[in-house]
Amino acid sequence: MTDMTRGAFIGLGAAAAAATATIATARGASATVRGSASSREGSGTGTGQGAASGMVPDLVVTNSRVLTGDAQQPLAEAFAVDRGRFIAVGSTDEVSNLIGLGTKVIDASGMCVTPGFVDAHSHPLWGGLAALISVDTNLGSIQRIQDALSARARETEPGKWVVGFMYDDTKLSEGRPLDRRDLDEAVPDHPVFVGHRGGHTAVVNSAAFDAAGITVDTPDPRGGTIYRDSGELTGRLAGPALDPFQALLPDPSSREQRQAAVKLISELMSATGLTSVHAAGVGSDAFIAFQDARAAGELGFRANLFANANAYPSFRASGIRSGLGDEWLRLGPVKYAADGSASERTMRMSTPYMGRADDYGILYMSQEEIHEAVEDAHRAGWQVAVHANGDVTIDMVLQAYERVQQLWPRDDTRHRIEHCSLVNPDLLQRIKSGGVIPAPFYTYAHFHGHKWVEYGQQKMEWMFAHNSFLEYDIPVAPASDWTPGPFEPLMAIQSMVTRKDYDGRVWGPSQRISVDQALKICTMHGAYASFEENLKGSISAGKLADFAMLGADPHDVDPDSIKEIPVVRTVVGGITRWEA
């Protein structure tokens, strides 16, 4: 597929400019209802109280506990929506005065409403596509994984690849990871590639090694590892060691399948209250898939698309840059990956992993390569996002950001560090000073508890450091990294509030935050990461009418059960995208 044309993106940008121009606010009769009027009412600009007289909203929500996320009016009972934007926020009695012929009214019956949730780093297309065409190996035991792969092999022509996804080495009942012998036993006649849900490691069988021409004597590639034990290949691969295998995997997806994948993940994410998603590291096929889904009315969330390193050169050559698009599809930063994975225990750190005295993790990029990539994108006017988990790698990325700002300063770049897992006071101060946006994993402390034993409690006091970021007044972004981590925002809130895993162990208790702080991260901070804090992130007059209706207020339940709160309704632009 060819990359999206400059003209297509210019069209999106023009739409965004026109939409922004219609936002206006006016003073109305009510002194306590915060509201705005759209341009068709002939209002002037500026913040006002109440909707313009004669306005009939499309939608009114009443009798709710509205956690607005707006510091000027943190709580409300009701709000009105017109043409996809909030126009009034206040009490049920006051907002009900706006109801007219044709207004849809939702009586929330005391339920909690929050701004729509934002996932600021995810891989929705890849995950949705894998769910459609690959074998789900998130099955809890090696035996069940073997059975699933064997069943797929029976449907597959001999010699063709069998591909699994969502494998998690720490969630198997046998208490050990999958290895080459397990795969050989289940699928002897097909090459097998089982990708870890973290995306940076995989397990393959003997037929796959033969197909790739890899033997026990093959040297490790730079930045990658071919794992061996007692002179034999274990089947595990990490980092660039995956490349020769991935080059052999067929790409069975069609344009229609990729569109179907966006539709599928839209439905799944909408059911959790997500209304905006940042899709990290996508190529031209993904841009097309999101456009196709939108045109068909199948895109249920707003998408901020990060160009990957392969797609970026054509975008740059066309003269387009981050921010082009509209309220539904937007070109975000260019994304690079500089080190390994937190969940797969390969991120590059200054101290070794527990029990592995010589293992400090993996680097994918040198300092020179990071400098070169950041300089090129920064000077071209782009926002930059670099995947950097470990403290060593975070330092390297900050050096690159500090260098370009010194040599070619730009205002408010909001360059990002994706994952930004292991920090320290020096790194925190530099992140704050540089206006850099960290996007650490928001469900990991809870979901991946068995992995943190390889880091230990001392490191975990500085990992996924949401409290430290807030203490340094850094607008830390919400990030699932799905498929590596679950994307459910309510699980994220529970994880950030409790830092407690499934077994009740607390990892890094100093990094716990309040429910209010977690809600702000999952809404306003997510909007800020994409320069959209004036468009969304709170239930405020003039902003996009994106919200989630919950079966309970997260403040009122046991913190260990926040993730169990049902999402009753998800609304994007005033339109219900999911309803229980």
Among the candidates 246, 273, 304, a domain finishes at 246
Residue 463 lies in a domain: no
**For residue 199, what are the domain limits?**
124-246
* Same domain membership, residue 76 and residue 55: yes
Residue, of 396 and 22, whose pLDDT is higher: 396
List pLDDT tens digits, range 331-365: 999 999 999 999 999 999 999 999 999 999 999 99
Asked if 21 and 332 touch (Cβ cutoff 8 Å), the reply is no
Count Cβ atoms below 10 Å from residue 71 Cβ, excluding itself. 10
Output the domain CATH number for residue 141: 3.10.310.70
Q: How many angstroms separate the CA atoms of 276 and 261, rounded? A: 17
* Same domain membership, residue 154 and residue 74: no
pTM, rounded to two decimals: 0.88
Kindly list the strands in the beta sheet with 104-107, ordered across the sheet, starting from the edge strand earlier in the chain.
48-49, 34-35, 85-90, 78-82, 59-62, 104-107
pLDDT at position 257 is 94
Alpha-carbon torsion 174, 180, 184, 187, what sign? Answer: positive
Question: 3-state secondary structure string, 194-256?
Answer: EEECCCCEEEECHHHHHHHCCCCCCCCCCCCEEEEECCEEEEEEEHHHHHHHHCCCCCCCCHH
Residue 392 lies in a domain: no
Among the candidates 213, 230, 246, a domain finishes at 246
Cis before 576 (ω within 30):
no
Q: How many angstroms separate the CA atoms of 204 and 186, rounded? A: 12
Please determine, for residue 231, whether its predicted confidence score (pLDDT) is greater than 80.
yes
Output the domain CATH number for residue 100: 2.30.40.10
Helix 391-407 crosses helix 425-433 at what angle (to 10 degrees)? Answer: 30
Among the candidates 196, 225, 246, a domain finishes at 246
pLDDT at position 49 is 33
Asked if 519 and 74 touch (Cβ cutoff 8 Å), the reply is no
Asked if 448 and 491 touch (Cβ cutoff 8 Å), the reply is no
Mean pLDDT lowest among 38-52, 92-106, 206-220, 462-476: 38-52
pLDDT at position 115 is 99
DSSP state, residue 523: I
Please determine, for residue 26, whether its predicted confidence score (pLDDT) is greater than 80.
no
| Domain count across the chain | 2
Average pLDDT over residues 380-395: 98
* Same domain membership, residue 131 and residue 240: yes
Residue 36 lies in a domain: yes
Residue 60 lies in a domain: yes
Residue 61 lies in a domain: yes
Q: How many angstroms separate the CA atoms of 475 and 524, rounded? A: 9
Q: How many angstroms separate the CA atoms of 277 and 320, rounded? A: 21
Residue 209 lies in a domain: yes
